[in-house]
Amino acid sequence: MKALMDMTTPIGIWLANELDHVSLVMSDHLKNEHKEVTAICGELAAYRGKMLRPTVLLLSWRSVSSCETTPHEVRVAAGVVELIHLATLVHDDILDEADLRRGAQTINSLLGNEAAVMLGDYLLSSAFLLCSTVKNPELNLLLGEVTNTLCAGELVQLSRRNDVDLDLESYFQIIHDKTASLIAASCEMGAMLGKGSGCEIKALKEFGSSVGMAFQIKDDILDLLGEREIIGKPAGRDLDKGKLTLPIITMLVDNPSLKEEVQKIMGNADRDALSALLHSTGAISSAFDMVSKMVNAAICGVEEVIENESSKQLCALAKQLKSSV
């Protein structure tokens, strides 16, 4: 996606302004009495992307709230979910031994693994400290639950590396936990802070879950097929690390006789050979179909419950994800 939405429309202008406030909340919170810590946090600029999680939180809040101005606690919550996301990116780059993210050097390549581990930890603790300033026990509990879930998802994925017997159910659970859970929680937090009804909160949470799953599947496809210059990081990292993703799992479910060949390909990290095999078996096309299916489910779930400018913008974001595959 080139941009999450058109920032020249009224709602786009509103969102751009809100995201500026969120960035300020984060920057202020990360300032530390030790200049060394503040300097290391300053290296996070390359990790700031489109701020998807704060965006869906803000739009979810706006889609159910009757408030005309955005409360500070909503901006704080948006900053919290982005800090958690940044922490996971920093730690992911260590695990993947990545040297680039969005075309710039990663923290681990700049400062080493030790500093990167500690920075990720600092970002997580900063997120919890920031969330504690919002006197909302339900919000703090949700934050604790989702952070625990995404960490568990990463541990499960780590334990299933190079496992050609990984099934679809396990894969979907992994990507839900490690990626979709935080996007779902972002939507849920926004709806909770906007005092949405039970049905509205549920619909927005499920929207976030479906979009998050679709987002991760698309990312997995790009890792297999994308070019470094396009995706802003080295392609084939999943293959290098023995991570089985949807196209590979689908192919093996439909063609179990290929397991030995796939194991050999993964052992050699031969992306070209794997790509040819995935295309010839229709596994890539099937994965793209799953992205579309999940996006459609996300849109239908919201449209059945909420219909206003903000909810329509959420659906437009989901459609953009589908149209760009």
Using one digit for the tens of pLDDT, what is the confidence trace for 246-295? 999 999 999 999 999 999 988 887 888 999 999 999 999 999 999 999 99
Instruction: Give the model's confidence band at 234: pLDDT under 50 very low, under 70 low, under 90 confident, else very high.
Output: low
Q: Does 3 reside within a domain? A: no
- CB count, 10 Å around CB of 225? 18
Residue 318 and residue 295: Cα distance in Å, rounded? 6
Q: Report the pLDDT value the prediction gives residue 1, as an integer from 0 to 100.
A: 40
- Residue 121 or 6, more confident: 121
Q: Report the pLDDT value the prediction gives residue 228, as an integer from 0 to 100.
A: 56
> Would you say 23 and 47 are in contact if contact means Cβ atoms under 8 Å apart?
no
Q: Report the pLDDT value the prediction gives residue 232, as an integer from 0 to 100.
A: 59
Q: Report the pLDDT value the prediction gives residue 101, as an integer from 0 to 100.
A: 87
Instruction: Give the model's confidence band at 90: pLDDT under 50 very low, under 70 low, under 90 confident, else very high.
Output: very high
Rounded to a whole number of angstroms, the distance between the first and last alpha carbons of the chain is: 9
Distance (Å) of CA 190 to CA 43, 77, 213, 234, 257? 29, 8, 19, 34, 47
Q: Does 230 reside within a domain? A: yes
Question: Which two three-digit tokens encode residue 19?
Answer: 């995201």
Q: Which residues form the domain of 215? A: 10-323
Q: Does 279 reside within a domain? A: yes
> Exposure pattern of 111-143 as b/e (b: 16+ CB <10 Å)?
eeeebbeebbebbbebbeebbeebebeebeebb
> Exposure pattern of 298-318 as b/e (b: 16+ CB <10 Å)?
bbebbeebbeeebbbbbbebb
**Residue 84 identity:** I
Q: Which tens digits make up the pLDDT trace of 15-32? A: 999 999 999 999 999 999
Whats the size of the chain, residue-wise? Answer: 325
Q: Report the pLDDT value the prediction gives residue 46, as an integer from 0 to 100.
A: 75
Q: Does 114 reside within a domain? A: yes
CATH number at 31 reads: 1.10.600.10
Q: Does 1 reside within a domain? A: no
Q: Does 17 reside within a domain? A: yes
Q: Which tens digits make up the pLDDT trace of 95-121? A: 989 898 888 899 999 999 999 999 999
Please return the burial class of 256, using the count of CB atoms within 10 Å of its CB with bins 0-12, 13-18 and 19+.
Answer: exposed
Question: Which two three-digit tokens encode residue 210?
Answer: 């479906």
Question: Which two three-digit tokens encode residue 64?
Answer: 């159910």
- Residue 156 or 226, more confident: 156
Q: Does 236 reside within a domain? A: yes
Q: Does 254 reside within a domain? A: yes
Question: Which two three-digit tokens encode residue 220?
Answer: 């997995």
3-state class (DSSP) for residue 138: helix
Q: Is 191's pLDDT higher than 60?
A: yes
Number of domains making up the chain: 1
Alpha helices in the chain, H assignment, sequence order: 10-30, 35-41, 52-64, 72-95, 107-111, 113-132, 137-159, 168-175, 181-193, 198-225, 228-231, 237-240, 246-254, 259-268, 271-280, 283-303, 309-323
Q: Report the pLDDT value the prediction gives residue 302, as an integer from 0 to 100.
A: 97
Residue 106 and residue 13: Cα distance in Å, rounded? 31
Q: Is 4's pLDDT higher than 80?
A: no
- Mean pLDDT of all residues belonging to the chain: 92
Distance (Å) of CA 192 to CA 30, 102, 109, 247? 26, 32, 39, 36
Q: Is 88's pLDDT higher than 50?
A: yes
Question: Which two three-digit tokens encode residue 232?
Answer: 């802003």
Q: Is 226's pLDDT higher than 80?
A: no
Average pLDDT over residues 36-64: 93
Contacts of 318 (CB under 8 A, 6+ apart): 207, 210, 211, 214, 295, 298, 299
